[in-house]
Structure 1
Amino acid sequence: MKIIDAQVHIWSQTVIPPGGGHRQVPSLSAEELLAEMAEAGVDAGLIHPPASWDPTSNALAIEAAKKYPDRFAIMGQFPPENPDNVRLIPGWRRQPGMMGLRWALLYGEQPRMIVDGRLDWIWPAAEREGVPVSLQAGVFLKKFRWIAERHPALTLIIDHCGLKVLTKDADALEHLDELLALARLPNVAVKATGAPAYSTQPYPYRNLHEPLHRIYDAFGPDRFFWGTDITRMPCTWRQCITFFTEELPWLAGHPRELEKVMGRGLAKWIGWDYAF
């Protein structure tokens, strides 16, 4: 079974220290990440450029995808605050390795801009050009529903299980029912990335088994994608894998569904022509 991590980062500089609990290192190269992937048994990774601390990370990701086209693809970004950047969306996917767009929208004015509509120029342009968009929507689920309903041909992904960012245990599940209701929209999928960071319990994070099961049951194996955000995980990359492949009784032992969750479903959703 091929394994694709739905969210990894590389960076070459740190204008500010990496946030969100990420490794406090000045750089992390594609080669360093590949070495860790080899040790863990990860075949490929979907790079999310961390522009909040490295403004050059989008170009760095493109260079990595050009150098290692069978190992990396990208959910890239540009500054969403500037409506003039709408000109970048046509042809966006013609860049090496570029699959779509991704923003966390956690910084500066961004949380207010997404809610009050100042970023609404992005969604019709991405829909028109067939560019998938991934968002850390757990902090603005009502607005995310508005986007998904008004742009039904826009391929959308909710990051980090759709749970409440930077919280743990029961606090992280505060909006779970609202997330599950989004499964009725066929253009919405969920990346089950960063799951271990939502628990204060040790591996295998038993308090997350039932909520992850509910998300999986709602969205199904074609719209539920494993991944890590490995540079801020409290466990090893290998444990992030076995958490899904061995510890979740409703998924382990179901090879076809597991293959979709661990990479095939993601590749199909974003149009990544990956050789399985």
Structure 2
Amino acid sequence: MIVDAQVHIWAADRPDRPWRPGEAHRAHREVPLSAQALLEEMDAVGVDRAILVPPSWEGDRNDLVLEAARTHPDRFGAFGRIPVVEAQGRAEFGDLAQAPGLLGLRFTFHKEKSLQEFLDGVPEWLWSAAQAAEIPVMVHAPRALHRVEKLARDYPRLRIIVDHMGMERPHQDAAAFAHLPDLLRLAACPNIAVKATALPSYSSEAYPYPALMDPIRQVVRRFGASRVFWGSDMTRVDAPYRQIVTHFTEAMPFLSEADKALIMGGALCDWLGWSMDAELAAEPMR
């Protein structure tokens, strides 16, 4: 089974469902990607399941990803977004945590304001609530991996997934992996896993992106294949979807067949408790 650890779907910016002001330029495609269109792209390249993540330009909206997960529980799971400030986010947390199809929550701390909030401990209530509710979190904080490590140690039952192997645009090649020692150190925390997502974006080379091979090998060696999750982020990656798949399934000789079975989907389903049974997959996380 091949499971994509991150794909965005979204709807058009319109008066009854407006995007965040000034965010239109950040949309990955001119035409929004619907759940049905994504299914067609997945089927064309042999991807069985996908984790749907609301894009930031829409704001903290979860309606589309939750509806897709409810409609296609055998194909989609949702990672929701809520505000990290307690006064705004706590009211949404309870309802979202109970939503069918929700497998976790995703938070990004790569812009200056959100990064400072993360460093200052603004979301502290959130980590406690997520741990108590047994809800995994995806965290994109490429300049604050030390804070992710502290988070993992402070909340040892909170399952944390580091986005994009800790990388940040626009860095590529060796510059993209300047943080690698900090990322590898996180492997000592058993409640941290890594998303190997959007990787072609961090290479200036053509497929199969030779400069990425050794860092990927080091990450797999240190974390183990059971804590590395392949994903595409295909709407923002300038590479064919099939090629993003074969980058791992065909172009990495250091991966065994057992490694690939885990990295390409088995490990993620296990980490999230995403049952192979479609009916069970529709139940919320606990």
TM-score tier, shorter chain, comes to over 0.9
Task: Say whether the 8 Å CA contact 1:190–1:225 is kept in structure 2.
Answer: yes
Which residue in 1 is equivalent to 2:6?
7
Percent identical: 38
Q: Which of 6, 26, 38 is the aligned partner of 2:43?
A: 38
- Equivalent-residue separation in structure 2 for 1:267 and 1:35 (angstroms): 22
Deviations 1:95-120 (A, max 9, x none): 12101110122346212101111111
The reply on whether 1:24 has 2:26 as its aligned counterpart is no
Structure 1 window deviating more from structure 2 (103-112 vs 118-127): it is 103-112
* Partner SS for 1:138: coil
Distance 2:128 2:2 in 1: 32
The residue correspondences of 1:1-276 to structure 2 (distance < 5 A) are 2-14=1-13, 15=19, 16-17=23-24, 19=26, 23-50=28-55, 52-55=56-59, 57-90=61-94, 92-107=96-111, 109-251=113-255, 254-275=256-277
2 CA distance for matches of 1:108 and 1:29? 30
Whether the 8 Å CA contact 1:161–1:193 is kept in 2: the answer is yes
- One-letter amino acid of the structure 2 residue matched with residue 23 of structure 1: H
Q: Is the 8 A contact 1:81 1:110 kept in 2?
A: no
Find the counterpart in structure 1 of residue 283 from structure 2. none
Superposition RMSD in Å: 1.7
Q: What does the per-residue CA deviation read over 1:10-69, in whole Å, with 9 as the maximum and x for residues that have no partner? A: 0003422253xx52324211011111111111111000111x211374111111111111
Once residues 113 and 219 of structure 2 are traced to their aligned partners in structure 1, the CA distance between those partners, rounded to angstroms, is: 30
Counterpart of 1:25 in structure 2: which amino acid? E
1:30/1:64 contact within 8 Å kept = yes
Q: Post-superposition shift, 1:274?
A: 2.6
> Quick one: structure 1 residues 7 and 18, their matched pair in 2 at CA, closer, same or farther if it must change by over 3 Å?
farther
Evaluate the alpha carbon distance shift between residue 169 and residue 181 of structure 1 in structure 2; reply closer, same or farther with a 3 A threshold: same
Structure 1, 200-209 or 87-96: larger mean CA deviation: 87-96
Whichever residue aligns with residue 216 of structure 1, its letter is V
* TM-score calculated relative to the size of structure 1: 0.92
Deviation at residue 90 of structure 1 after TM alignment: 4.1
Structure 1 distance, partners of 2:87, 2:158, is: 19
Q: Which runs of 5+ in 2 are unaligned?
A: 14-18, 279-286
SS of structure 1 residue aligned to 2:62: helix
Q: Distance in 2 between matches of 1:273 and 1:91?
A: 22
Over 3 Å counting, the alpha-carbon distance change for 1:65 and 1:7 in structure 2 is same
Instruction: Name which structure has the greater RCO, CA cutoff 8 Å, separation 6+.
Output: 2
User: Are the counterparts in 2 of residues 155 and 188 from structure 1 also a CA contact under 8 Å?
Assistant: yes
Deviation of the 1:269 alpha carbon: 0.6
